[in-house]
């Protein structure tokens, strides 16, 4: 690539804003779905690299663009591209991939790079902490927090909440994960015994994309507790039942997008 390489940074959160600024130091950069800096894509041609966000779309059709008042379809970006353009983004679904591969474009998925996945867990954990601080009626320090799952996100979230004084327990399936939890100072619990301890926590954070918290388990959770679900679709909570029985659930599907979008609206998003 040289200084004449054209990038279109489309949609996303503050990370896309920062990326556009960084790329603009060496290349020609255009934006859409990012607010006041946007280019009219109907007049844009010859893009070499389309940079989609980590969460590309929430409905497989429209660009995930919380800073824009427009509804931008993914297909509307295609006329901006050259025949040999590269399309980058995170977590391409089959449906989204087909939109671009059917036109012959090469797809590069960020989430096939392990180092990025791990580093992305940090803003996810920080965004979860911010939501908890805003929504809980008690301080995080001294609160009892249960994390369901000890994958990448579970590890980062457990470490962060523990570092600010929460009493962290982690539900795991593997005994080896339980051993790691204990080594890192977290209480280890087994998923098979989940019903026995759901009533003892101020905050439950789910990281597992499976319906772990069904009607029976939700009935055991105190009404003053908060559930934050970080799992991808279909999530890990029966949301309809939770609503009916009065258990508060926040499905933070787009963290850290939701948090950074709010901050972005306060700060503005100029590339200058």
pLDDT value of position 256: 56
pLDDT value of position 126: 94
pLDDT value of position 2: 82
In the chain, which residues have pLDDT < 50? Answer: 257-272
Report pLDDT digits (tens) over 117-174: 888 889 899 999 999 999 999 999 999 999 999 999 999 999 999 999 999 999 999 9
pLDDT value of position 234: 82
Q: Which domains does the chain have, with CATH numbers?
A: 6-112 (3.40.50.720), 116-258 (3.40.50.720)
Q: How far apart are CA 184 and CA 177, in angstroms?
A: 11
pLDDT value of position 115: 86
Q: Which helix (H) or strand (E) holds 104?
A: none
Mention every residue, 6+ apart, whose C-beta is less than 8 A from residue 168. Answer: 145, 147, 158, 161, 162, 185, 186, 187
């Amino acid at each position: 690539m040289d200084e004449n390489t054209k990038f279109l940074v489309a949609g996303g959160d503050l990370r896309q804003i920062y990326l556009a600024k960084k790329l603009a130091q060496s290349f020609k950069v255009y934006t859409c779905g990012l607010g006041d800096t946007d280019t009219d894509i109907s007049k844009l041609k010859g893009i070499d690299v389309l940079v989609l966000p980590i969460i590309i779309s929430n409905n497989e059709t429209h660009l995930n663009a919380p800073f824009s008042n427009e509804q931008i379809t993914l297909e509307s970006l295609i006329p901006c591209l050259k025949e040999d353009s590269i399309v980058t983004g995170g977590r391409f679904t089959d449906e989204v991939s087909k939109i671009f591969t059917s036109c012959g474009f090469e797809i590069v998925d960020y989430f096939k790079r392990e180092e990025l996945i791990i580093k992305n867990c940090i803003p996810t954990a920080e965004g979860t902490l911010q939501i908890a601080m805003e929504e809980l009626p008690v301080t995080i320090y001294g609160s009892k927090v249960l994390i369901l799952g000890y994958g990448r996100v579970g590890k980062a979230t457990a470490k962060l909440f523990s570092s600010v004084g929460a009493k962290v327990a982690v539900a795991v399936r593997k005994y080896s994960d339980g051993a790691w939890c204990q080594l890192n100072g977290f209480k280890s619990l087994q998923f098979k015994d989940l019903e026995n301890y759901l009533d003892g926590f101020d905050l439950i954070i789910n990281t597992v994309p499976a319906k772990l918290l069904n009607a029976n388990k939700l009935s055991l959770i105190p009404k003053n507790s908060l559930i934050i679900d970080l799992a991808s679709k279909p999530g890990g909570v029966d949301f309809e039942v939770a609503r009916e029985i009065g258990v508060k659930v926040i499905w933070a599907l787009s963290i850290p997008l939701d948090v950074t979008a709010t901050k972005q609206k306060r700060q503005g998003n100029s590339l200058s």
